[in-house]
Chains A and B, each alone.
Chain A
Amino acid sequence: MSLLAERSSTVAAADADREPSLVRRIVGNQQFILLVAFIVLFAFFTERNSVFLSVSEIGNNVTEFCTLIMLAVGETFVIATGGIDLSVASTAEFAGIVAAFGMEHSASHGQAFIIALGTVIALFTGAFVGLVNALLINVLKLVPFVATLVTLGAGAGMCLVLTGGSPVDNDINAIDMTRPLLGPFSWPAMIIIGITIISGLYLHLSRFGRYTFAIGSNPFAARAVGINVTLHTYLVYILSGILAGLTGMYLFMQLGSGSPTSADGAELTAIAAVVIGGARLTGGSARLTGTVLGAAILTIVSSGLIIMNVSPNFNQVAVAICIALAASLQVLRRGTRKEA
């Protein structure tokens, strides 16, 4: 029977796929290449200036990484659905400012209470912007690029309206909390890393993550099997907004003020981290470990350049080079798969 003949041949093909040659497995694994790139860069910068390996410098890198990673995690979910969120950085600034105002009015309470209150305010502010994004997409049927461009502009504008352009100082000293507690890790950093790990588990092992990829891969098929694509779109953009809001609170804690420019341009760095991590911008394919490595590489490249006394103005160029390298790596991978 032809059926059986075909089965044996397809199974053989599957087995060949499961155990590819070592070279192909390495080239085909973006995570592995990113890890190697990270280690090489780290070693290179350390060789240039051994300060790079000091606990305090690693602590600086962890802080920078933490301001980037939550934006990048939210962006990973959004991009996995085939969308994009350009508003994350302005949302972070907006949430930081709103939280700063909110905390100002409760300055008589204990510090822990005030910080918790600020965190909740920032979280809800972020969720609100995410909700607006999803409403623009679901109700007004704007494409995500335009919808989040609208909130990017509106959020940045609101920041200036609320602050008149200067940071909101409220005498709440949260900088202490951002000092390293365990090695180079402050406790907000540990929470952020925890959120990142949980997000990864949800993206790759939960039903929520499965639906996220299904929608990005084939929204028609997702709808046909009863996945509520509209609801899921709301949830994903609200998640991205919440993570941006928390980033805003983290920035507030570092700076001691809500600044309207603290995260300017970070949306592009976050998207860059996701793309370097191997995600496909049209949706359906992303790895959170890739995003983490992408964010880590971007972090050490920018701090490494500073340590090498390269002008920070070159930072954007370095980010651009990282994107170009990662993107061509993807093209290369696709090439090897076709040959297989």
Chain B
Amino acid sequence: MTATDVRAPLYEARHLSKSYGSVRAVRDVSLHVSAGELVGLVGDNGAGKSTLVKMLSGVYAPDEGELLVDGIEKHWKSPHEAMQAGVETLYQDSGLALDLTIGANVFLGREKMQRGILGKLGFLNQREMDKEAAEDLERTGIAVAASRRKVGQLSGGQRQAVAIGRAVAWAKKVIILDEPTNHLGARQAGEVLSVMQAARDRGLGVIFISHTLPHILQVCDRIVVMRLGAVVRDAPTSAFTAETLLGAITGLHVGE
């Protein structure tokens, strides 16, 4: 019996299915994440992870099944709606505007306006955004330079740090990270992992998608394994070793 079983799921997917034409990308998948839980989602290419993530983050509507936040059913019309409900997603390609500054990116879509008439006329309070962006990133444990720099001037690792910092800073309930450690060096990947753990410790539900199994085994509380569009294992990390996890993914030693 783990603590997970007692806690109510913060975000829950029940019996999701999604087809593209005749291809059933996701078949009857159920998944949940609780507050303060870090769930790993693994599977081979084509296992249906990306499709599942896109349904969870509001990019696609599921053909069947339901999504519940705090037990209340949700039908996302857009990723933005999911974001407003507290579900943040960090995509593989990070979703930053490279020509904008760090501060502008952190606040993109939720700008702080000037007070009074200037704000009503549509003018931004960039100074406050820069200041708060720096504080937000600092709080999530992310090392980036001054808010005024353009994201395009940053290294790949720093860009990823900004993207994660933005997602963690804004996520009210759940944060979904799709391959956040891709293209990162060992040290930067380690930083990303500790940022995820910090987010979990702050009470967020974290869903971590990765091909890098050592990272999954290192930080996750629970691991969900997908194969051929279905969930084949959903168990606490302690139930897996590197070998049995790989076996579950490839389907060669299921249930070992």
Q: A6 on the interface (CB 8 Å rule)?
A: yes
- For residues 67 through 125 of chain B, which have their beta carbon under 8 Å from a beta carbon of chain A? 78-80, 83-84, 91, 93, 95-100, 104, 108-111, 113, 121-124
Q: A40 on the interface (CB 8 Å rule)?
A: no
Q: B132 on the interface (CB 8 Å rule)?
A: no
- Bound CA span A157–B144, Å: 55
**A residues within 8 A CB of B84?**
226
A-B contact count (CB 8 A): 95
Binds B, one of A146-154, A215-223, A297-305: A215-223
Least Cβ–Cβ distance between B90 and chain A, in angstroms = 10
Q: B126 on the interface (CB 8 Å rule)?
A: yes
Least Cβ–Cβ distance between A172 and chain B, in angstroms = 34
A220-B187 in contact (CB<8A): no
Binds B, one of A84-92, A97-105, A205-213, A257-265: A205-213
- Bound CA span A14–B144, Å: 9
- Bound CA span A224–B78, Å: 8
- Bound CA span A218–B105, Å: 11
B99-A217 in contact (CB<8A): yes
**A residues within 8 A CB of B251?**
none
A206-B123 in contact (CB<8A): yes
- Bound CA span A207–B80, Å: 17
Contact A206/B149 with A217-B99, A218-B97, A284-B98 known, Cβ cut-off 8 Å: no
- A18's nearest neighbour on chain B, judged by CB, is B146
B122-A207 in contact (CB<8A): yes
Contact A10/B122 with A17-B153, A210-B111 known, Cβ cut-off 8 Å: no
B97-A213 in contact (CB<8A): yes
B95-A218 in contact (CB<8A): yes
**B residues within 8 A CB of A223?**
79
**A residues within 8 A CB of B91?**
224
- Bound CA span A14–B148, Å: 9
A221-B96 in contact (CB<8A): yes
Q: B8 on the interface (CB 8 Å rule)?
A: no
Q: B46 on the interface (CB 8 Å rule)?
A: no
- Bound CA span A212–B91, Å: 22
A226-B109 in contact (CB<8A): yes
- B149's nearest neighbour on chain A, judged by CB, is A14
B143-A202 in contact (CB<8A): no
Least Cβ–Cβ distance between B134 and chain A, in angstroms = 11
- Bound CA span A207–B122, Å: 6
Task: Choose from A13, A14, A202, A285 the contact partner of B99 (Cβ within 8 Å).
Answer: A285
Binary interface profile of B, 145-178, with partner A (CB < 8 Å = 1, else 0)? 1101100010000100000000000000000000
- For residues 167 through 223 of chain A, which have their beta carbon under 8 Å from a beta carbon of chain B? 201-202, 205-208, 210, 213-214, 216-218, 220-223
Q: B203 on the interface (CB 8 Å rule)?
A: no
Say what secondary structure dominates the interface of chain B.
loop
Q: B236 on the interface (CB 8 Å rule)?
A: no
B187-A221 in contact (CB<8A): no
A208-B108 in contact (CB<8A): no
Say what secondary structure dominates the interface of chain A.
helix
A221-B97 in contact (CB<8A): yes
B145-A10 in contact (CB<8A): yes
- Bound CA span A11–B93, Å: 25
Least Cβ–Cβ distance between B151 and chain A, in angstroms = 9
- Bound CA span A223–B108, Å: 10
Q: A313 on the interface (CB 8 Å rule)?
A: no
Contact A10/B79 with A214-B100, A216-B99, A217-B98 known, Cβ cut-off 8 Å: no
Least Cβ–Cβ distance between B85 and chain A, in angstroms = 12
**A residues within 8 A CB of B247?**
none
Q: A7 on the interface (CB 8 Å rule)?
A: yes
Of listed B108, B110, B122, B153, residue having the most chain A CB within 10 A: B108
- Bound CA span A224–B178, Å: 15
- Bound CA span A121–B46, Å: 57
Contact A4/B143 with A205-B123, A226-B78, A226-B80 known, Cβ cut-off 8 Å: yes
Least Cβ–Cβ distance between B100 and chain A, in angstroms = 6
**A residues within 8 A CB of B113?**
207
- With A221-B96, A221-B108 given, can you name 20 additional A-B contacts, CB distance below 8 Å? A2-B190, A3-B143, A7-B143, A17-B149, A17-B153, A202-B122, A205-B124, A207-B122, A208-B122, A210-B104, A214-B97, A214-B104, A216-B99, A217-B97, A217-B100, A220-B95, A225-B110, A226-B80, A226-B84, A226-B109
Q: List 21 A-B contacts (CB under 8 A).
A: A3-B143, A6-B191, A10-B144, A10-B145, A11-B146, A13-B145, A201-B123, A206-B123, A207-B113, A207-B122, A207-B124, A210-B100, A213-B100, A214-B108, A217-B99, A220-B95, A221-B97, A225-B109, A226-B78, A226-B83, A226-B84
Lowest 7 A-B CB distances belong to which pairs?
A: A225-B109, A226-B80, A14-B145, A284-B99, A217-B97, A7-B143, A217-B99
